Amino acid sequence: MAFKNRYRFVIAFLIFCSTASIYIGRINMSIAIVEMSEPHKANKSHQILTDACPAQTISSINEQSMIEDTPTKYVAEKFNWNERTQGIILGSFFWGYVLFQISSGRMAEMYGPRLLITIGIFGTGVINLITPLLVHLYYVFIASRVVLGLLQATVLPSCYALASHWIPDQERSAVISLIIIGAAIGTIVTSTLSGYLAKHGFAGGWPSIFYVSGIIGIIISIIYFIFVTNRPRDSPFVSQEEYEYISNNIAGLKVKNDQDNKDVDKNDKRKQAKKSFPWIKVLTSRAVMSEIAVRISTNWVYSLILLKAPAYMKNVLSVPLEVNGYYSAVMSFTSVISHFFCGLLADYFIKKKLFGSKTTIRKLFEGVCVLGSAIFICLIPSAGCSQLLFLLYMVGCQIAYGFEAGGELPLPSDLSNEYSATLFAIANMFGMATAFVGPYLTGIILDMDPSKPKQQWAYIIYFTGAFNVLGGIIFTIFGTAEPQNFGQHDSYKTITDPKIHGN
């Protein structure tokens, strides 16, 4: 086959597809909930939303020609959900997502990532397909969002495990960035498609968002199961030449050219599955603690941008839902470009040994990420009612955010190839806790004074910027990209020692 010596790039593409599909099945709720919710009815007088912007503030956009509120034959039911209830719905996904992070990482390392990712994507598709039915039973609906989080918790840690087996160290930053790029592409697809389907889709509008998302997830899960294997040696599409190249360029691995050596390696895999995780070493490591700190701060920005930005655009800037989806797509596309090129740039700097050590490069990129995104986030209130300025500031935030591809994002693999999935899961568990705390607290703050959403949002935004910088400072002081001593077991070193194999 033409790609036989480059099959690892097919794996990289499927890593991209896996995160794209789960984000399509996750972020669609952020757009759909705007259309599913009735306008706030606490006060029918004109006193409500007094500091919100008037509609149609950009004269260059002829919204009448772009959006025609022509109703579908059947309009799906809307629900009387206030901001706090919407925060609970959006955050409930992360209850399950956070709880299952670490166990997912360990299972990926012990038993392989292929089946976990397949189940995660397939389950995402199924839950999306039945969401229009479950939404009428509030507590069952909330439970389904928790289960969706449990299923998706398997995917990202497993992607790290898959990359640690398939991707050489010097290609790691760019490929790991595909995890986030896939998420951003998934967000682009669901933002654009959901905005359109909510107004013009079948089944009454918003239900079609979940039907389309579900079908996409099921199709991708089938493709993934067919073409992905846990390790290069298990794939019929990998040549001996590529297998040797991959093995010789991943720290801690060595090529085993004959069948006897492969048998030894399989025995080693079973031994590794039985080994306990070095919890004390990991949880007392300054490198891990600094990674957790910066993950928490940057994920707080994530929860603000991805989960609540559509509500900000509608309730403060009065952006119509369909245009709202286009704006979200522009932000996500910017993130794609930034993550991709920053990942390549970081790999280039590491190969050329520019700026000194890998640690220096990681801190430099992460510093641009947290400081740049904080500055642009804090500029948002100054945009006033200008939708154009708001969009420019959000684009700037996403450009800065993309520098994490050369900063904290590849760090779990830097610290340990052996435990990269669990290290990512630990940091992501703490980081993603902000994604259910953030929307809920945001809802509480907004409900404190519904007549002044712009003012309430300003408080949220300034806190977000300051919190982001704090995490970056901790990482700059204590962070490192050097391999840690919990990354190799003595037995693993012994089995891969060339002297044992007579090489």
181 occurs within a structural domain = yes
Residue 52 lies in a domain: no
Q: Phi first, then psi: what are they for 70, rounded to 5°?
A: -75, 115
Q: Give the pLDDT confidence score for residue 275 in this predicted structure.
A: 61
Question: Which is more confident, 288 or 199?
Answer: 288
Predicted confidence (pLDDT) at residue 261 exceeds the cutoff of 50: no
For the chain, the average pLDDT equals 80
What band does 39 get if pLDDT is binned at 50, 70 and 90? low
Average pLDDT over residues 293-322: 79
**Which structure tokens are listed for 39?**
């306008």
Q: Which residues pair with 79 in a beta bridge?
A: 37
Residue 363 lies in a domain: yes
pLDDT above 80 (res 63): no
Q: Is 51 helix (H, G, I), strand (E, B) or coil?
A: coil
In this structure, is residue 53 part of a structural domain?
no
* DSSP SS3 for 42: coil
In a domain, 502, yes or no: no
Structure tokens at 267: 């025995």
Per-residue tokens: 284 = 């007392």
- Which of helix, strand or coil describes residue 12? helix
Pick from 119-133, 242-256, 386-400: least confident: 242-256
Model confidence pLDDT, tens digit, residues 108-127: 888 889 999 999 999 999 99
Tokens found for residue 318: 């009065």
User: pLDDT-based confidence at 320, cuts 50/70/90?
Assistant: confident
262 lies in a domain? no
Percent of the chain at pLDDT > 90 equals: 24
Domain containing residue 227:
7-40+76-254+268-495
Task: Confirm if 310 and 445 have CB atoms less than 8 A apart.
Answer: no
Supply angle C-alpha 297, 298, 301, rounded to 5. 100
Report residue 157: phi and psi, to 5°.
-60, -40
- Whether 51 is covered by a domain: the verdict is no
CA separation for the pair 424, 413 (Å, rounded):
8
Contact 342, 406 (CB under 8 A): yes
The token pair that represents 393 in the structure block: 């500031």
Are the beta carbons of 407 and 424 closer than 8 angstroms? no
Amino acid in the structure at residue 64:
Q
Per DSSP, the residues of 398-423 read: HHHHGGGGGTTTTHHHHH-STTHHHH
Question: Residue 55 — pLDDT band, cuts 50, 70, 90?
Answer: low
Average pLDDT over residues 479-496: 61
- State which H helix or E strand residue 132 sits in: helix 114-134
Q: Out of 125-139, 247-261, 265-279, give the one with best mean pLDDT.
A: 125-139
Query: Of 222-231, 300-309, 361-370, 403-412, which range is least confident?
Result: 300-309
> 301 is written with which tokens?
């920005």
Q: Report how far residue 357's alpha carbon sits from residue 218's, in angstroms, rounded to the nearest whole number.
A: 43
- Digit-coded pLDDT (tens) for 126-168: 999 999 999 989 899 999 999 999 999 999 889 988 888 888 8
Q: Which amino acid is at 403?
A: F
- Smallest CA-to-CA distance from 313 within 297, 329, 299 is with 329
Q: What are the tens digits of pLDDT across the range 189-224?
A: 887 888 788 777 787 778 899 999 999 999 999 999
| Per-residue model confidence (pLDDT) at position 49 | 46
CATH number at residue 157: 1.20.1250.20
* Structural domain includes residue 61: no
Q: HEC profile for 88-100? A: HHHHHHHHHHHHC
CA dist., res. 163 & res. 325, Å (int): 32
- Give the total number of structural domains in the chain: 1
